[in-house]
Amino acid sequence: MSSTPNPNQALTSAVLRILRPLVRILLRHGVSFGSFADLARAVFVDVAAQDFAIPGRKQSVSRIAVLTGLTRKDVARLQGLGSPEDVLAERRYNRAARVVAGWVRDGRFSSEAGPRELAFEGGSGSFSDLVRAYSGDVPPRAILDELQRVGVAERIDGECVRLCVRAFVPQTGDEDKLHILGTDVAFLVSTIDHNLQCNHDAARFQRKVSYDNLPTEVIPQFQALSRAKAQALIEEMDRWLSQHDRDINPDVKGTGRKQAGLGIYYFEGDVPEERSR
């Protein structure tokens, strides 16, 4: 006889899976359990206050305490602390990412062969023109410094600029990579949360393909195949979204302000010994 499914047991197992790679990152960066516990308490309080209020009523400290299991004293203390925000990192990332995307898709700066080497100064088709088109009033030198700092672009002969990779994925700098950890993982978990609560017709796209008995020799082939196919799809989605984004096309009509996108990630690892038997 099969046992009755237990959602709490499934949730516990899911949380443990999520925490393992996160704890590796925390320990690698010297974050202790005590510091992590303080962060978790603060998030519990913030989510309870923002997302679980009774409609038409102000969320009270007492109700937050009941929802979270924390004391009223802890709730009041945590509400007064505020939260650290990496606003500057987010702005820096968004501006640089828009410049790289424009470099890849815009015919003024790219050809069928790929992104062109651009003169730093000059009129139409220069790097400075690219920055003006996709990053507003930020000085071209500041954008170039950022792209060079994270290994995305390089200066050639002092006069031209070359794009090294076709997406803004920092090659160096832990701060930028950790910013991506915060945004991308949050997007994925939010999509899963939405799909847990909605009916099938309203579900957001969430798929993966995975096999667990692959020989080591095929992994490099799959890495190359998935990188090429995924990059092509991301660039196609970028071209479509950029046509409807009001920061890039101020003449786009419509109401509200929404964020939407598509994330793709590659994964691999050794199969646990108990599953490989």
64-75, pLDDT tens digit by residue? 999 999 999 999
Q: Are residues 96 and 156 in the same domain?
A: yes
Q: Are residues 24 and 54 in the same domain?
A: yes
- Taking residues 62-85, what's their average pLDDT? 86
Asked, for residue 42, whether it belongs to a domain, the answer is yes
pLDDT at 180: 80
Whether residue 242 has pLDDT greater than 80:
yes
Asked, for residue 125, whether it belongs to a domain, the answer is yes
Q: Are residues 114 and 157 in the same domain?
A: yes
Cα separation, 177 vs 4, whole angstroms: 42
Q: Are residues 74 and 105 in the same domain?
A: no
SS3 130: helix
Q: Is the pTM of this model over 0.75?
A: no
Counting the structural domains of the chain, the total is 3
Asked, for residue 147, whether it belongs to a domain, the answer is yes
Q: Are residues 119 and 145 in the same domain?
A: yes
- Taking residues 236-252, what's their average pLDDT? 89
Q: Are residues 215 and 245 in the same domain?
A: yes
Cα separation, 179 vs 110, whole angstroms: 28
pLDDT-derived band at 171 (thresholds 50, 70, 90) equals: low
* 205-211-214 Cα angle (round to 5): 150
pLDDT tens-digit map of 203-215? 999 999 999 999 9
Domain boundary among 84, 102, 117: 84
Domain encompassing residue 56: 16-84
